[in-house]
Amino acid sequence: MKQRKSYFANLKNALMGGLPAPFNFTDGYFFAMYEPGRLMMLIEKRLSESSCTEKDKEVLNKLLASLDEEGNNVLFVGKLKK
Give tens-digit pLDDT for 21-74: 666 788 888 888 899 999 999 999 999 999 999 999 999 999 999 999 999 999
Q: How far apart are CA 47 and CA 33, in angstroms?
A: 20
Give tens-digit pLDDT for 8-24: 766 777 767 778 766 67
pLDDT at position 60 is 93
DSSP letter at 61? H
The dihedral through the CA atoms of 44, 45, 48, 53 has a sign that is: negative
In this structure, are residues 64 and 52 in contact, taking their beta carbons and an 8 Å threshold? no
Task: Show me where the domains of the chain are located.
Answer: 36-82
Predicted TM-score (pTM) of the model is 0.74
pLDDT at position 12 is 74
Which one is predicted more confidently, 24 or 77? 77
pLDDT at position 54 is 93
